[in-house]
Amino acid sequence: MSNRLAGQVAWISGGASGIGEATARLFANEGAAVVVADVGDADGQRIADEINSNGGNAVYTSCDVSNSEQVARSIETAVERFGGLNIVVNCAGIVHVGLLHEYSEADWDRLMGVNLKGIFFSLKHAFPHLRRNERSYMINVGSISSLVGQRATPAYTTSKGAVLSLTQSTALDYASMGLRCNCVCPGITDTPMLRKHLNTTPDPDETLRQRVRRVPMNQAMQSDEVARTIRYLACEDSAGVTGTSIVVDGGYLAAAEWDTADDAPAPGDDA
Ligand SMILES: NC(=O)c1ccc[n+]([C@@H]2O[C@H](COP(=O)([O-])OP(=O)(O)OC[C@H]3O[C@@H](n4cnc5c(N)ncnc54)[C@H](O)[C@@H]3O)[C@@H](O)[C@H]2O)c1
């Protein structure tokens, strides 16, 4: 434990699972007081309890990020409980699979409500507290689909593209007020969200193997790997970095095409 986040208070949406959970645990290990804000009440409470019994400082709040009042209440809890707020991590996210013409208006609105409007609400309700600090941090979790398209998830990719745009605009508007705002764009990451998606296919393990063939590092990212990039952006290790995105994807976006199973020798390879 490096105590990089000692004295900081972090509000983490989606903290009850996957990347958000890994971030909550890592931040607590680094000395931050952590508010886990999620709709997964049982998991969120368990994670906060585990952090507390390991000597950390955490509280769980039941909070649907698409609901402005609930976000306001959750952020108030952070401030009342821990005396302020320094870091906001927007990690809550959902996916809806289908072609756009098959979507209902409610499907579209629900996804945009969680993935995008939730970030607006977090800034709206957190900023009055963040502005009291000399420095504060917002990290929005986008995706590789913030940068490229992806099949059969049109609202998701649109929301994630917008997460990056919103990150850039937020960085500009609040830079003079001490807030740095950045985006982390994970590639294929082994979380309950990914597993749920894989489990809709006949052979989930085979589907994952096939998907990671497209990844030069030939592996899915782990939540903790993404969490460590989020931590970098949540402290002065990243001083001067704002309005940008960091991709954590094992090289996925670096290659126009890739197949790890392709064992053809590379040009200049003597083998
Ligand atoms: N897993 C991947 O491959 C991957 C890739 C790129 C980006 N991401 C992004 O990373 C973030 C975390 O995803 P994950 O893979 O850890 O998923 P996950 O499903 O494991 O965790 C998401 C969390 O968000 C919570 N959540 C959902 N709706 C909510 C709401 N309305 N209010 C509050 N919380 C809500 C869920 O309960 C869950 O705890 C998401 O924004 C996702 O889009 C994931």
Packing angle of the helix pair 118-130, 68-82 (nearest 10 deg): 30
Residue 47 lies in a domain: yes
> What is the reported pLDDT for 262?
84
Q: Rg of the chain over CA atoms, in angstroms?
A: 19
Query: Per the domain annotation, does 208 fall within a domain?
Result: yes
- Which protein residues touch ligand 1 with a CB less than 6 Å away? 13-14, 16-20, 38-40, 63-66, 91-94, 114, 141, 143, 186, 188-189, 191-194
How many domains is the chain built from? Answer: 1
Minimum CA distance residue for ligand 1 atom 1: 189
Q: How many angstroms does the Cα of residue 117 sit away from the middle of ligand 1?
A: 15
At 2 the pLDDT is: 78
243's torsion region: left (phi>0), alpha (psi -120 to 50) or beta? left
- Looking at every residue in the chain, the average pLDDT score rounds to 96
| Domain annotation covers residue 81 | yes
Asked if residue 3 is part of any domain, the answer here is no
Residue 142 lies in a domain: yes
Residue 267 pLDDT > 80: no
Q: Is residue 101 part of a domain?
A: yes
Give the distance, in angstroms, between the CA of residue 219 and the centroid of all CA atoms in the same chain: 19
pLDDT tens, position by position, 8-41:
999 999 999 999 999 999 999 999 999 999 999 9
Among the listed residues 113, 1, 100, 13, the one whose alpha carbon sits nearest the alpha carbon of residue 68:
113
Q: Residues for the chain: how many in total?
A: 271
Residue 47 is predicted with a pLDDT of 98
> Alpha-carbon distance 32 to 227, whole Å?
14
Q: Which domain holds residue 129?
A: 9-253
pTM of model > 0.95? yes
pLDDT at 160 over 60: yes
Assigned domain for 1 exists: no
Average pLDDT over residues 247-270: 84
Active-site residue (options: 60, 156, 174, 252):
156
Half-sphere exposure (Cβ direction) of 185: Cα atoms closer than 13 Å? 23
Q: Using CA positions, which residue lies closest to atom 19 of ligand 1?
A: 193
Provide, rounded to the nearest whole percent, the portion of the chain with pLDDT above 70. Answer: 96
Helix 118-130 × helix 154-174 angle, to 10°: 20
**Lookup: tokens for 94:** 């959902």
Query: CATH number, domain at 224?
Result: 3.40.50.720
Any domain includes 245 = yes
How confident is the model over 232-242, as a mean pLDDT?
98
Based on the residue annotation, tell me whether 156 is a catalytic residue of this protein. yes
List, for residues 176-225, the tens digit of each pLDDT value: 999 999 999 999 999 999 999 899 899 999 999 999 999 999 999 999 99
